[in-house]
Structure 1
Amino acid sequence: MNHMHHHNELDQKFLSKIAFLDSRQREQLIPPEALISQMPIQKDYTLLDVGAGSGFFTIPMAENTSSKVYAMDPDRRMLSVIEEKAKEKGLTNIELIQDYIENLSIQNNSIDFVMASLILHEVSSLTKALTNIFEVLKAGGHLLCLEYEKDDLLIEGPPMPIRIGSTELEKALSSIGFDILEKTKINDAIYTVLAVKK
């Protein structure tokens, strides 16, 4: 462990980003376990977390299936954090994918459930991202999106122009062929939309 003193400013920034992600999501949302208990996940489901980040949902998702969980994030360091958390918990069913949703290259019709938490407002093309997710899902597979509402009263969260309001997201999902099952307001700033591939 003698490399500890090499922590430069970049590492510190990154570490504080992880701490921030973990604590902010925990503050703002109901606990991931509670959200996951509402997800249509069965013990043998293959899962995909497209905005895996520091593993806020990936880890509890992996605890809820005996099958595989794909954790996708463009940042290699985020994936390392997930790897560490998985090791600590003795989870061996997580597969890390370093990439953007726009390049999603998992086999078509192979995933039972996709979690997209606070990631869709960052993609370069919402249609492309959602189409890719639609294609990898099995018929009858579900997608749960969690995003910031687009509302000028809400200062917290990403800048307004890049946010995806729930109405816009529902439109985009429907146009690709998803059926919207339910929309839930988690709190003032955050909503979820559960959709199914018919």
Structure 2
Amino acid sequence: MNHMHHYNESDEKFANKIAFLDSRQREYLISPETLIRQMPIQNEHTLLDVGAGSGFFTIPMAENTSGKVYAVDPDRRMLSVIEEKAKEKGLTNIELIQDSIENLSIQNNSIDFVMASLILHEVSSLAKALSSIFDVLKTGGHLLCLEYEKDDLIINGPPMSIRIGSEQLEKALSLIGFKILKTTKINDAIYTVLAVKKEK
């Protein structure tokens, strides 16, 4: 990856975005480490973090498996941030992929666990994104979605119009063929849905 680039205003914006992503998510959530430890992840599992951003979940995921962790983000600069964080921690099991969720270039039926944190409300087609995740998961593989509840009382977070309420997400997951295992309210603003890819 080419790290030579001239400083410009968008670099500063970008740095602010990373600081914002890291702090905003920390502010709302139980720590990513805690959340991941509660997940059905085993030591040799292959993991996928879609919309990995600044690696908020990618890094602790990589620390929890000896298998490979794919970090997918459409923004190459985000991926270089993850690369830097991985280097600092001496993690060698992260593979960076510049891609959209709707169009994952990962082998079908190859992933044990997918994390989709605060990203599904940004995709152009929820059904397409979830189908894409469904395809790359092994049968019996798990998906954890973390999203903002669609509730007018919650001001923080993305605009109401693009949010995906927990019931809407459960419905969308079920239509694709997932089985919902557990929906958890993390706090007023944020919920998680844990789903599994069922046997056909």
Return structure 1 stretches of 4+ with deviation > 6 angstroms: none
In 2: Cα distance, 1:125 partner to 1:185 partner:
24
In 2: Cα distance, 1:24 partner to 1:125 partner:
25
Counterpart code for 2:24:
R
- Superposition map of 1:35-74 within 5 A: 35-74=35-74
Counterpart code for 1:30:
I
Cα deviation for residue 7 of structure 1 reads 2.9
Corresponding residue number in structure 2 for 1:33: 33
- Superposition map of 1:71-82 within 5 A: 71-82=71-82
Counterpart code for 1:183:
T
Counterpart code for 2:146:
L
Corresponding residue number in structure 2 for 1:117: 117
Cα deviation for residue 8 of structure 1 reads 2.1
Corresponding residue number in structure 2 for 1:95: 95
Cα deviation for residue 87 of structure 1 reads 0.2
- CA distances 1:100-151 after superposition (whole Å, capped 9, x unpaired): 0011121111000000000000001000000010011001000000000000
In 1: Cα distance, 2:38 partner to 2:171 partner:
23
Corresponding residue number in structure 1 for 2:171: 171
TM-score by length of 1: 0.97
In 2: Cα distance, 1:134 partner to 1:70 partner:
15
Corresponding residue number in structure 1 for 2:17: 17
In 1: Cα distance, 2:178 partner to 2:50 partner:
17
TM-score by length of 2: 0.96
Q: Is this contact kept in 1: 2:99–2:105, CA < 8 A?
A: no
Counterpart code for 1:50:
V
- Superposition map of 1:85-164 within 5 A: 85-164=85-164
Which ranges in structure 1 are unaligned for 5 or more consecutive residues?
A: none
In 1: Cα distance, 2:173 partner to 2:15 partner:
34
Cα deviation for residue 70 of structure 1 reads 0.2
Q: Is this contact kept in 1: 2:109–2:138, CA < 8 A?
A: yes
> How many residues align structurally?
196
Counterpart code for 2:81:
V
Secondary structure, aligned partner of 1:42: coil
Identity among equivalent pairs (%)? 85
In 1: Cα distance, 2:99 partner to 2:113 partner:
19
Secondary structure, aligned partner of 2:21: helix
In 2: Cα distance, 1:67 partner to 1:33 partner:
17
